[in-house]
Amino acid sequence: MLKIIAGLVCFLIILFSPVGYNIITGRTYYVPMLKVPQGDCVESTVYMRKRHMEVLERWRNAYVRDGIKRYISINGIYRIGLTGTCLKCHSNKAEFCDRCHDYGGIKPKCWDCHHIPEVKAEK
């Protein structure tokens, strides 16, 4: 009986060790926070947070396959482009794109072909 309880305790300790690790290192409620640049994005921030990947896919297909080079939204008219348009405001890929993608273990392949503009030192 004692052996079973000891075994169970050991099992539970191992089972919850990741939670314990996060509590000790203070990362229990860690959510990556992003610095959102000033001004309007092509769509609202909430929408972009949730659906930016769908927007990017629509942009890709529109630009390459349908020859549509402009995107018209409620915030204005934009030239479709990842490096040219998105990264003009979100100029620091490491602090913007990567922070959440790393957290979520997502590895988008955009950057194999598309270029990352050089990060300018903040004044």
Cβ proximity of 91 and 119 under 8 Å: yes
Question: How many whole angstroms separate alpha carbon 123 and alpha carbon 70?
Answer: 32
For residue 16, which of 4, 31, 28 has the smallest C-alpha distance? 28
108 binds another protein (CB under 8 A): no
90 contacts another protein (rule: CB under 8 A): no
The least distance separating another protein from the CB of residue 39, rounded to whole angstroms, comes to 22
- Under the binding rule (CB under 8 A), the answer on residue 107 touching another protein is no
Give me Rg for the CA atoms of the chain: 22
Q: Tokens representing 103? A: 């957290």
Q: Is 60 in the site for another protein (CB under 8 A)?
A: yes
* Binding status of residue 105 toward another protein by CB under 8 A: no
Number of shown-chain residues binding another protein (CB under 8 A): 12
Contacting residues toward another protein, per CB under 8 A: 60, 64-65, 67, 69, 83-84, 112-115, 117
